[in-house]
Structure 1
Amino acid sequence: MHSSRTAGLAAALAMSLSAGVVGVANAGPTASPDPTQSSPAVTAGAPGTPTTSPGSEESPSTKAIPSPESPLSSTESEAPSSLATPKPSASTPSVSAHIRATQQSVTGTPLWMYLTTDLRTGAGTSYRSMGKVSVTAQVSRRGADYKGWAPILYKTTKAWVPANTVTNWHPQTQWIYLSSNLRTGAGNNYRSMNKTTTTHALVRRGPNHNGWAPVYYQNKQGWLPGNTVTSTRPQTFWVKTNQTIRTGASKSARSMGTAHQGDRVVRRGPNYNRWAPVLFNNRQTWVPASSLSSRRVAAPPTTLPISNAGVHLDRRCLTGTVICGSKSQRKIWMVQNGRILITLDARYGRSSMPTAEGVHSVYWKDKNHVSSTYGSPMPYSMFFYKGQAIHYSAGFAKNGWVGGSHGCINIRNMNGLKWLWNHTPTGRKVIIYK
């Protein structure tokens, strides 16, 4: 009887202890985590970094680019540097469950900053900031996300950052394939921060989202249409034979002019259907890939025969490639190391408005310029000194040497001027003498 009673008390005590252990095991956190803890409880659905379906980074056609000037959204705002409760948006969209699970799984996993943000001592904006961590900086994970915040180690600092500011996507150096507006969010309705420049480098900070690429460009976090950036490094090429440059990768695409033998171009992306996307005279164009050489190609003679006989060239015209003009000889030449490449009749400024003599350089080109002072057309203008330019003159072509210009250098041979225009980049030296 005594032993039976003892056994019953032991069984009751065991059941009581078991219930107490279960109660402790089911108890949840009652406050925000201790910032020194590396693995606080996971909150499902924490925001993270954007994902998109895989897709081509670039498109060979400029038609796919969204309009650069869409109206602004009335609710537009830039991505915050820190968030109390990060929420998905076009500028910081949420990630898929698969990638979120990958990011939250392993302590010590390398991550990269998707946005610049504050390093906090705890999981919330009410915790003290220990400084900033910059976009593309590498950090490592200390544990799982907690209420939308990620515990990280940055250098030697243990900190918390909003979960949507880190990504396991390694930042990549890429290049501008087409010039477009850098926007604050993934869409044309977001504010434009500046204009990108073709062939310039940038850092891609994540995968595309709805066709837009998150990038870091000229110290700005922004978004570009995904088909305007490329992983192909720009390369310098030379044109082997005269080629029509076009708006697209096809002979049916509209002509934009001619690239001549020996002209330098920059390939801005991979070939498409045997056509190369190139930058020529600051214009985004296409030429047949077979027309390009990675080795320098010499420009051909343009006057037959080339002869300096009877021409007085200033000694400053004998070195390098320069445009030289003589008022007394009423000519203008392009000269390469003392060899005349082209000769054009030139009408200079009248005595009351003389053309400036000396050494100048082409600082601006305008193909369809109209004088703001006289209202007259000045096709193929190449400005070299204040408002003075080399340009075509219909009056000179019609009336000859009668009169003079208002200081500009008038040319009457349109075809010759077009050649000069196509072979004259901004910065080209211009020497005018008696």
Structure 2
Amino acid sequence: MHRMTRHHVWTLLLAIATLTALATPAAAAAPKIPLPDIEIVPPAEKGKQAPFCSTTTGPHQKALERYLKLTPDGKQSPADCAAIQRFQDTYDIWPDTGYAGPVTWMAAKLAYAQEHPNDKNRCHPAPRVICIDLTRQILWLQQDTKTVYGPIPIRTGTDAYATRAGTHKVYLRNVDHWSTIYDAPMPYAQFFDGGQAVHGSYGSLFSPSGSHGCVNLHYEEAKALWAKTKKGDTVHVFGRKPAE
């Protein structure tokens, strides 16, 4: 019998570790939520260093309580904060203070929408259609009934400049458009109804909370959507933007 050398021992241990890793199922990762935005901090808590547990009731308190299966009383509590904080940590939302703000609520909506983008069949099938859900403030791209891109977060018009619902066609595309009305960039602009277009935004989608009627996307997502669409594609806008 051959004597096992130190080299043989290390080789055997490495083989065992590799086989164990292959045989052990990886922990289920949270679905990717494309949110580069930073969660807002209530004025009374500005200057505090995260992590800490927010005592302030957020604008989406009751909605997040329902989503996380907490008591939906619309009031922040230590239990609410801890649950919201865990959700924020799962989706890398910062600062993770347990505050029920717009970025956290959007992440919850996206987490659900990734499994059920067209759950009420509001977006009409077409060979290729950009689906814009005003109610949930999300967009996805559909081919017939199959989702091929998204859903992703969006920002649509304010009450004074509402994004118009209806079925349209992309009639003009401009990769480097500049708005002469608002003196602002509109990268990867795809116009579908008069001056209203889907286009990229360099800033946050949550501040300010509404556009002048266009559908704003994060820059990289507008670029990705551009590559998957073309002039003449259908754009279906439906629902109603929630009151601010």
Task: Compute the TM-score of the two structures, normalised by the length of structure 1.
Answer: 0.28
Higher helix share: 2
Higher strand share: 1
Which of structures 1 and 2 has the larger relative contact order (alpha carbons within 8 angstroms, sep 6+)?
2
Task: Compute the TM-score of the two structures, normalised by the length of structure 2.
Answer: 0.48
